[in-house]
């Protein structure tokens, strides 16, 4: 028997069939009340994904904040995300760093690990290899601080899991284009 055809939605066009990509968008906004709600609301309202989001003021006198968003979807959908963001009045610029190529991306994480004996030694050895710093220690625990690309942090967290991972706190990605030109 033939499988029933998937219901055809007017919204799942030929566009929807392409591959899913992950892009990092750097968005410069007026630092005014509600601007983050506008950005987040746009993503939820239109069904876009947010994999990570960071925001902080970057120019105090000009009241500018930078929002860095990692989003995933088909390339056409990501192009839409960019255009929809540009429609928001308090948004100055939207840069797709992934499209631009070779952006630098960094994330900071704190990782709490608990254990005794050989596990403690192993945790410290691995931390050393990853250049993670100990920022808190007790006789039974460490808190490591690690900065790097998101994948490196993922890898470190996975290694800590069997050793005694307790919890993780991550900032999300901050990103910038390489070279002399601004984003």
Which residues of this chain interact with other proteins, rule CB under 8 A? 5, 7-11, 13-15, 30, 33-34, 37-38, 41, 45, 76, 79-80, 83-84, 86-92
Least Å distance, CB 140 to other proteins, is 43
Least Å distance, CB 179 to other proteins, is 25
Kindly tell me which of 88 and 108 has the beta carbon lying closer to other proteins: 88
Kindly tell me which of 79 and 122 has the beta carbon lying closer to other proteins: 79
Question: Strand 133-137 vs strand 141-148: parallel, antiparallel, or unpaired?
Answer: antiparallel
Least Å distance, CB 153 to other proteins, is 33
SS3 of residue 91 by DSSP: strand
Kindly tell me which of 48 and 130 has the beta carbon lying closer to other proteins: 48
Kindly tell me which of 86 and 167 has the beta carbon lying closer to other proteins: 86
**What distance in Å separates the CA atoms of residue 66 and residue 93, rounded to the nearest whole number?**
10
Q: Within its chain, how far is the Cα of 57 from the centroid?
A: 17
DSSP for 96-158, written as a single string: EHHHH--EEEEEEEEEEEE--THHHHHHHHHHHHHTPEEEEE-SSEEEEEEEE-HHHHHHHHH
Least Å distance, CB 87 to other proteins, is 6
């Amino acid at each position: 028997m033939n499988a029933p055809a998937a219901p055809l939605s007017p919204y799942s066009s030929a566009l929807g069939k392409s591959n899913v990509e992950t892009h990092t968008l750097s968005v410069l906004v007026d630092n005014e009340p509600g601007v983050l709600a506008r950005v987040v609301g746009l993503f939820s309202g239109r069904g876009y994904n947010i994999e990570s989001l960071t925001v902080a003021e970057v120019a105090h006198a000009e009241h500018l904040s930078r929002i860095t968003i990692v989003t995933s979807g088909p390339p056409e959908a990501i192009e839409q995300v960019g255009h929809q963001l540009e429609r928001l009045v308090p948004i100055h610029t939207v840069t797709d760093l992934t499209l631009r190529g070779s952006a630098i991306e960094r994330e900071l994480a704190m990782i709490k690990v608990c254990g005794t004996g050989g596990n403690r030694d192993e945790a410290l050895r691995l931390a050393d290899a990853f250049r993670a710093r100990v920022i808190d220690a007790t006789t039974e625990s460490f808190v490591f601080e690690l900065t790097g690309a998101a994948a490196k942090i993922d890898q470190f967290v996975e290694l800590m899991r069997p050793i005694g991972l307790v919890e993780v706190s991550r900032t999300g990605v901050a990103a910038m284009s390489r070279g002399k030109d601004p984003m």
